[in-house]
Amino acid sequence: MKIAILGFGTVVKGVYEIVKKANVQTQNLSVSHIFIRKNKKRILPEMTDDIDEILEDKQTDVVVEALGGIEPAHEFILKALKQGKHVITANKAVIALYLKEFTDAARENNVKFYFEASVGGGIPWIQGLEKALRIDSVNSISGIFNGTSNFILDQMSKNGESFEEVLQKAQELGYAEADPSADIDGIDVANKLCISADIAYNINIQDRKNLPVFGIRNITAKDVDFFDKNGYSVKLIGRTHQKGNQFDYVVEPTLFVKHTLEANTPDNYNLISLNGDTIGKLDFFGQGAGMFPTANAVVQDLLDIKEEKDHLKRNFESKMEYNPELTSADYLVRSAANIASLFKDYAPTQKDNYIVVHNIPVGKMHEIMDLILKVDESAFMVSLPSNSKLAHKKISKQEAVA
Amino acid sequence: MKIAILGFGTVVKGVYEIVKKANVQTQNLSVSHIFIRKNKKRILPEMTDDIDEILEDKQTDVVVEALGGIEPAHEFILKALKQGKHVITANKAVIALYLKEFTDAARENNVKFYFEASVGGGIPWIQGLEKALRIDSVNSISGIFNGTSNFILDQMSKNGESFEEVLQKAQELGYAEADPSADIDGIDVANKLCISADIAYNINIQDRKNLPVFGIRNITAKDVDFFDKNGYSVKLIGRTHQKGNQFDYVVEPTLFVKHTLEANTPDNYNLISLNGDTIGKLDFFGQGAGMFPTANAVVQDLLDIKEEKDHLKRNFESKMEYNPELTSADYLVRSAANIASLFKDYAPTQKDNYIVVHNIPVGKMHEIMDLILKVDESAFMVSLPSNSKLAHKKISKQEAVA
């Protein structure tokens, strides 16, 4: 099977290595072309900067898109599918936007569009979810989808360091990029959550901008210490629920009591969970990023294409309404501004430096937080587990601030 | 697709329910026969006590064996395969003994032999392992494979109750059987570990009786309390390692520091991990037993057969030697007998009621423990994590007993 790879980053190097491994070698996968941008040096004979040379080559069976970003990735993927080539990509940003378009084009041209590596890296999450869906309705998904932010929170918790110190360390280790925004502001998690929800509910999320996202940029060493002293670990979580023909989704820092799997997911690992009506709670834990785990997922897709293994067929045409008030939660909010009155409908109480907000719809909470950030750009919020002792201990008169 | 089911226990009832679900209904799976033993009442028209009626029925495509035990399950599975019928079973005891025989018979008769439900219940462990093996060498597997023993240890830890109290509670809840031996003496884990090792190393473990197994029957509330006070949770673990053409395996109680996933696997959940050379550490967590999760795994196998999805092909013919000294560990041993001299080659020290044994080959440890049990049938042992503080703090003269 002849493979063209678009891009020549870390993951591609991993694919090159894995294709040479004993178990995989027998499958006769070979790389026929590598597309590089015009200004890059052609260090291998199979390199080209002419995309049409690849797309028009009748010998090429599969295109692995590893350019990242939206364009020209979107354009190239679509062209490749229309030329009758299978496409594999790990590019969550472009899939989150165009999953339905790509899937339709693949079906129309009788080829496969596979993207296991896009969510959870080496964790077999996409296929695990698809497999559960053959039998079950999956009515919730929740997870630590981003290794970089988990590394930062884990280090802050272990060493009492500040967010800035740990971010710098993560950048030095190559875990975080020079512009860390996608990781720390929850954008990467949002993309992965949208892809997961599209599959779980067979929908086509087009207005991703509605998705409430709050990242970890504003967390302080004092926050982490306070959570720890009260028996909690903080994690950046993406989660979604479905009920009837409504769903919600959110990306936000979330507290977990110490004996949960989430609280004990260390370093840059990922942990992704689904809840199905017969399978119950199923969790997948592993390396969500890194050269070899991600390349492993790409090669798994290549082998599925080679062995003509069909993944679950989805048309992403179910009608389901996003309801920002579908679920409610308790929150801790920290701000130097006087914010208690904003939460007067949600029984606000004071706890240390935090306002505790009770039973507020998730969408509403994020709406109010957007207002708070306009007057205090260092404000922080975190959601609490249901029945948290922190939120529900008896409220004394002194503590009530409303 | 016409299905004959042998047996009519809980899992079969679950399969019946799941086959009626919306997602699965479209697949046209229907149960044509149910085999029941001669003394059972025929409450459904498809019930029969004549196995030949089923095996000779040309319309039946798949036989789901759910009788349990070794015979006649072994005989019926083999006959069904030879009659050109696909076979699915959750019966780990019979698979652990006859995996190669069944696989050979399936290949010769051009049918499938699938057994996802046999290890980890609803957790997609067998296929997760097979998938990893398409690319990687898997050089270790470790896990909490048995929900009943995990429930017992978790309850003892949470409530400080005795082993006997919790076992009785588990029996009342239907988590443990009247004869709990398979669960608490590690036999169930041993079967699941053998199946996993057979697949991982492509071998045919025939002398399963060599496998060192020590269960949790002798654990006391005082043991659990001592472990807890020293920062550990105790879990019944099955694990195997491979190095070159040697492997080892063991079933034994094992301590885990509090912030590991193992220590935080609650109730009757399972957690199974593999280590692959490119995928790294991959963990699967979920319901390892129960009507619906197990039935879900059976129906997943039915759907794979329906959709002609091939699982990984294994011949179980690799030559690999079991080496009981391949790995070493530290152990705590509790006994009323005077046992320190038995461990004189392993730097024994005293810690509270326990002898701490250092860096002893796993096989050797179990050999000595068998001797100890002959003089003290209430003796208990537990393996320690590598670099455990409990084992490696400086040994004072008073503590050294050797």
A238 and A106 part of one domain: no
Same domain, yes or no: B264 and B376:
no
Taking contacts as CB-CB distances below 8 angstroms, the residues of chain B near A14 are 278
Q: What is the pLDDT averaged over residues B289-299?
A: 93
Tell which of B134, B135, B232, B299 to mutate to test the A interface (max A CBs under 10 Å).
B135
H/E stretch holding B237: strand B232-243
**Claim to verify: residue B197 and residue B342 sit in the same structural domain:** no
Segment A153-185, tens digit of pLDDT: 999 999 999 999 999 999 998 888 889 999 999
Per-residue pLDDT, B402: 43
User: pLDDT, tens digit, for every residue of B160-217?
Assistant: 999 999 999 999 988 888 899 999 999 999 999 999 999 999 999 987 778 999 999 9
Q: How many domains does chain B have?
A: 3
Whether A18 sits inside 8 A of B293 (CB atoms) is no
Q: Which of A256, A291, A296 to mutate to test the interface with B (most CBs of B within 10 A)?
A: A296
Residue A397 has what pLDDT?
A: 46
Residues A47 and A59: their CA atoms lie apart, in Å, by 16
Cβ-Cβ contacts under 8 Å, B117 against chain A: none
For A264-284, what is each residue's pLDDT tens digit?
Answer: 999 999 999 999 999 999 999
Beta strands B269-276 and B138-144 are: antiparallel
Catalytic residue among B192, B209, B313, B393: B192
Nearest to B135 among A123, A128, A299 (CB): A299
A128 touching chain B per CB within 8 A: yes
Tell me, yes or no, whether B374 lies in a domain: yes
Q: Considering only residues B382 and A17, tell me which one the structure prediction assigns the higher pLDDT.
A: B382
Beta bridge partners of B6: B35, B65
**B194 and B249: one domain?**
yes
How many other C-beta atoms are found inside a 10 Å radius of the C-beta of residue B66?
A: 25
Q: What is the pLDDT averaged over residues B143-155?
A: 97
Which of B321, B353, B323, B325 is closest to B339 using CA atoms? B353
Query: Per residue in A91-134, pLDDT tens?
Result: 999 999 999 999 999 999 999 999 999 999 999 999 999 999 99
Q: Is A136 in the same domain as A280?
A: yes
Asked if B153 and B217 sit in the same domain, the reply is: yes
Contacts of residue B286 in chain A, CB cutoff 8 Å?
279-283
Range of the domain at A374: 328-392
Judged by CB atoms closer than 8 Å, whether chains meet at B135 and A283 is answered as no
Look up A364 and say whether it is catalytic.
Answer: no
pLDDT at A402: 44
Identify the domain boundary among A90, A114, A138.
A114
- Both A95 and A142 in one domain: the answer is no
* pLDDT value for B391: 79
Residue B106's pLDDT is what? 98
Q: What is the mean pLDDT of chain A?
A: 93
A281:B284 CB<8 A:
no
Mean pLDDT of A69-90: 97
Residues B140 and B282 in one domain: yes
From start to end of B51-109, where are the E strands? 62-65, 86-89
Residue B282 lies in a domain: yes
- Mean pLDDT in residue range B76-105: 97
Query: Taking Cα atoms as reference points, which of B183, B216, B218, B131 lies closest to residue B289?
Result: B183
ipTM above 0.90, yes or no: yes
Averaged pLDDT, A142-152: 97
Q: Are residues B209 and B241 in the same domain?
A: yes
Q: What CATH number did the domain enclosing A388 receive? A: 3.30.70
Asked whether residue A332 is domain-assigned, the answer is yes
Query: How far apart, in whole angstroms, are the C-alpha atoms of residue A164 and residue B120?
Result: 42
Look at residues B93, B114, B135 and tell me which one is the last residue of a structural domain.
Answer: B114
B392 CB-contact burial (10 Å; exposed 0-12 / middle 13-18 / buried 19+): middle
Asked if B264 lies within 8 A of A264 by C-beta distance, the reply is: yes
pLDDT at B393: 60
Residue B315's pLDDT band, with cuts at 50, 70 and 90, is very high
Residues in A touching B121 (Cβ below 8 Å):
none
Q: Examine the domain organization and report whether A280 and A337 are in the same domain.
A: no
Same domain for A337 and A282, yes or no, is no
The reported pLDDT for the residue numbered A393 is 60
Question: Do the domain assignments include residue A300?
Answer: no
**Considering only alpha carbons, which residue of chain A is nearest residue B289?**
A279
How distant is the Cα of A63 from the closest Cα of chain B, in angstroms? 20
B214 within a domain of the structure (yes/no): yes
pLDDT score recorded for residue A386: 87
Percent above pLDDT 70 for chain B:
97
pLDDT at B396 over 70: no
Q: Are B284 and B142 in contact (CB under 8 A)?
A: no
In this structure, what CATH number is given to the domain that contains residue B263? 3.30.360.10
* pLDDT: which is higher, B25 or B357: B357
What is the helix, strand, coil percentage profile of chain A, to 5?
40, 25, 35
Chain A partners within 8 Å of B128 (Cβ): 124, 128
Whether B264 and chain A come into contact, CB under 8 Å, resolves to: yes
What CATH number has the domain bearing residue B14? Answer: 3.40.50.720
pLDDT, tens digit, 9 for 90 and up, residues B205-253:
987 778 999 999 999 999 999 999 999 999 999 999 999 999 999 999 9
Query: Are A135 and B14 in contact (CB < 8 Å)?
Result: no
Determine, yes or no, domain membership for B297. Answer: no
Interface probe with A: pick from B116, B282, B298, B310, most Cβ of A within 10 Å: B282
Mean pLDDT confidence for A82-91:
97
The fraction of chain B above a pLDDT of 90, given in percent, is: 84
Is a pLDDT exceeding 50 seen at residue B386?
yes
Which helix or strand (DSSP H or E) is residue A256 part of?
strand A246-257
- Does A24 contact B at CB distance below 8 Å? yes
- Would you call B25 an interface residue with chain A, using a CB distance cutoff of 8 Å? no
Q: What is the pLDDT of residue B28?
A: 85
At which of B322, B347, B367 does a domain end?
B322
Q: Is residue B199 part of a domain?
A: yes
A26 shares contact with chain B (CB less than 8 Å):
no
Is A63 found in the same domain as A132? no
Residue A304 belongs to a domain: no
Across the interface, whether the CB atoms of A303 and B135 are under 8 A apart is answered yes
Q: What is the mean pLDDT of residues A329-338?
A: 96
The answer on pLDDT for A26 being more than 80 is no
Looking at residues A361-390, what average pLDDT do you find?
A: 95
- Whether residues B18 and A135 touch (CB distance < 8 A) is answered with yes
Q: How far is A119 from A93, CA to CA, in rounded Å?
A: 11
Report B:196-255 residues touching A (Cβ under 8 A): none
Within 10 Å of residue B164's Cβ, how many Cβ atoms? 10
Residues of chain B positioned with their CB less than 8 A from the CB of A19: none
Question: Phi first, then psi: what are they for A26, rounded to 5°?
Answer: -65, -15
| C-beta neighbour count of A101 within 10 angstroms | 16
Q: How confident is the model at residue A10 (pLDDT cuts 50, 70, 90)?
A: confident
Task: Note the helical H segments in A230-380.
Answer: 291-306, 362-375
Q: Is the pLDDT of residue B394 over 60?
A: no
**Token pair of A310 as six digits:** 């069909």
Which residue on chain B is closest to A291 by alpha carbon?
A: B278
- Does the pLDDT of residue B354 top 90, yes or no? yes
